[in-house]
A and B are shown apart, each in its own frame.
Chain A
Amino acid sequence: MNQLLLIPIVAFAKLLTLALRLSGRGSGTALPGYLIGRYFPFVLEALVSQIPVVVVITGTNGKTTSQTMLSAVLDQVPEAKVLRNKAGANLSQGILSELLKQSNALGQLDFTHAVLEIEEATLPRIAALLKPDIIAVTNLYRDQLDAYGEIDRTEKLIRDGIAQCPTAAVVVNGDDPRTSRLTQGLGNATYYMSLAPEYARFLPYEGKLNRRNVDSQGLEATNICINEDLTTDFSVQGLMNGEAINLPRATTVSPGFFHVYNGLTAIAIAHLLGIDGPTAAAGLQAFKPAFGRGEILTRQQDSKQVNYRLLLIKNPASFSLSLELLRNIPALKLILAINDNTADSKDVSWLWDSEVERLNQADIDWVLCTGLRAKDMVVRLKYALNTPPGPIPAIESIRQAIDLSFEQSNSGDTVFVLPTYTAMLEFRKLMGKTLDVV
């Protein structure tokens, strides 16, 4: 259809992006998409419809990791050319900006697959335009309540989004009561990702685990083993569309139970795309953790080298699970970096819903708190810990916190850093890594 009309619009967007870059006003990830989405709403559909397979990933935690894992799996397929949006650019303008950026001057896109992470509330607004073949929902935890009001509403928004795509296959977390009921009453083929019950019970879902459909249509992870380097091994078995699936061993380099779901989601989507299990497992193994999700940053000064392992925390679920992971680390060195900017949640009461008490079973060498709400974190620790490892510092400046932690570490130590989103961005920047490097 409007292919000719696309040319001047795409040209305008490219010029605008260039102008923004040259003037140093950002990387041009939002404004072109915003302007064009607003004045030429047909462009999103015209661009994305050129890509044969569209996969959309949403949910409160694990969007970025699932997207990165699936991209790594598709990298195993020589003829696949994958377009993906960057983490953070997951609103409609960010997605449109990425499509504009990746298109040629004629508005043409040469890709076989689009793997897009989409913010939860954005899905119903653009689902009908994207016409995804597959929609994956990682989980629905209470998150950013101050932004959206209530998780009930988020659940409804995602359901509305799915309802606009009657032919899409839907991959959901089969243990999460909220995601596993998303397609009830809808005709979509649905696949359930699940952990064997002895693991799923560690997970702070709201309500009872829902495993009704797992056996007949879905994948289950068993024999989960978290290794000392925090990589996680697991076996996969299941049934999808009548076909038995049996993968004796898969490994995710991102740490913890959450990432097993993300791995299962990538394997299931790969199966729907015709990629076999061993190829998918090889992709998972090759994948590198997305920024902040288990990545290791190193600071070196003279002959001293300290590693910082970042585990992003976003809400009570991810915080509690990260602490579960740290329980077995000997002589744990820990930085908790809590900001209350909009992207973190302006309300810090989620710290009290998080099971910080899990740290009572950890072997803590030292812990320090930083970020705008360092003091709130110190109070939470004071009430959680039966025997605190001495006074816990609250250092608002993340830069100072890094300096202090470096001073009090020995060469070769690994410091675990649990930051909220904007604290993670700041931490990376101070360590000399920015988002654009990813």
Chain B
Amino acid sequence: MAYALTLTHLYPDHLNLYGDTGNLIVLRRRCQWMGIDCTVKTLTMGEVAQSGQTDLYFMGGGQDTDQVAVVEDFHQLKSDAIRADTEAGVVFLGVCGGYQLMGNTFLMGNGEATPGLGIINVNTRAPGTDVKQRCIGNLIAEINSTAYAEMQTMYTTPHAIPRTLVGFENHSGQTYLGEGVQPLAKTIAGFGNNATAEYEGARYKNVFGSYMHGSLLPKNPHFADYLIGLALRRRYPEATLPVLGDTEELAAHAYVVQRYGA
């Protein structure tokens, strides 16, 4: 049976810092290598989102001015569809600004908190007197056990996958998780959600938020497959993924763990 998926890139013109596009390149290529027919659509400023049109949303981060520019559009033209879709289990990956905008509040360029969509119960605020620094650097975190267990069920044949996620973070916003939200991973090196907590990212239903920008999916092929698998199983409940040869990706992953993991 031929599988097909539609991926939607939100605001590719405005929210595309730090190699966010790389995540789409990786998803599309891996689908292609797995024999999944993959369509990538974009939704940008002024376009109305319709629910039921996509299997996976991706939203990256932007410059402060760009993030400010998309907020109103996001609330007025996109929120209804995204809310309906994600409540129904559509996969959503938000990185940095895309993560913050899915929370209850997020940080504007002037340091003020503004309402987000409130789909993930997290709050983001400016570094205050307690936390002064911008969180920048290589980030390594251990995937939460529920997600990790589920990741391993995605493949047609059993397949050893890393327990960690690696990436690079660069954010001033400090994100705090509320009730009902699972952290995506536990920080091993770097900051993650905020400079004092020990967790990186968040998950609610199939909505994922992370501060690992750009390099998130290229060096974490297991997480890319997990997202593809979750999206696929909504449409084809029996679907499993063929195992791809990930020597290069896992070597890059292992290098970061070895060099920055101490």
Interface residues of A (CB under 8 A from B): 142, 145-146, 149-152, 346-353, 375-376, 378-380, 382-384, 392, 394
Give the docked Cα–Cα distance between A350 and B134 (Å). Answer: 19
Contacts of A376 in B (CB 8 A): 215, 218-219, 252, 255
Contacts of A379 in B (CB 8 A): 218-219, 248-249, 252
Give the docked Cα–Cα distance between A375 and B255 (Å). Answer: 8
Tell me if B's interface is mostly helix, strand, loop or mixed.
mixed
Give the docked Cα–Cα distance between A114 and B50 (Å). Answer: 60
B215 & A352 in contact (Cβ 8 Å cutoff): yes
Determine whether B112 belongs to the interface, using a CB cutoff of 8 Å to chain A: no
Contacts of B248 in A (CB 8 A): 375, 378-379, 382, 392, 394
A349 & B251 in contact (Cβ 8 Å cutoff): no
B219 & A346 in contact (Cβ 8 Å cutoff): no
Instruction: Please encode chain B, from 127 to 156, with 1 for each CB lying within 8 Å of some chain A CB and 0 for all others.
Output: 000000010111000000000000000000
Q: How large is the interface on B (under 10, 10 to 19, 20 to 34, 35 or more residues)?
A: 20 to 34
Of the 9-residue stretches B15-23, B37-45, B78-86, which lies at the interface with chain A?
B15-23
Question: Which chain B residue lies CB-closest to A382?
Answer: B248
B12 to chain A, nearest CB (A): 12
Q: A152-B63, A383-B29 are in contact. Are A349 and B252 (CB under 8 A)?
A: no
Give the docked Cα–Cα distance between A339 and B126 (Å). Answer: 32
A348 & B215 in contact (Cβ 8 Å cutoff): yes
Contacts of A378 in B (CB 8 A): 248, 251-252
A350 & B63 in contact (Cβ 8 Å cutoff): no
Give the docked Cα–Cα distance between A303 and B172 (Å). Answer: 57
Interface residues of B (CB under 8 A from A): 16-22, 25-26, 29, 63-65, 134, 136-138, 168, 170, 172, 213-215, 218-219, 248-249, 251-252, 255
A145 & B17 in contact (Cβ 8 Å cutoff): yes
B173 to chain A, nearest CB (A): 12
- Identify the 7 closest CB pairs spanning chains A and B, nearest first: A349-B214, A352-B22, A352-B19, A349-B19, A375-B252, A347-B168, A349-B18
Question: Which chain A residue lies CB-closest to B168?
Answer: A347
Report which of A146, A150, A349, A394 forms a contact with B215, defined as CB distance below 8 A: A349
B220 to chain A, nearest CB (A): 11
27 pairs from A and B in contact (CB 8 Å cutoff): A142-B17, A145-B18, A146-B137, A149-B134, A149-B172, A152-B64, A346-B136, A346-B137, A347-B214, A349-B18, A349-B214, A350-B19, A351-B22, A352-B19, A352-B215, A353-B16, A353-B214, A376-B219, A376-B255, A378-B251, A379-B252, A382-B248, A382-B249, A383-B26, A383-B29, A384-B25, A394-B248
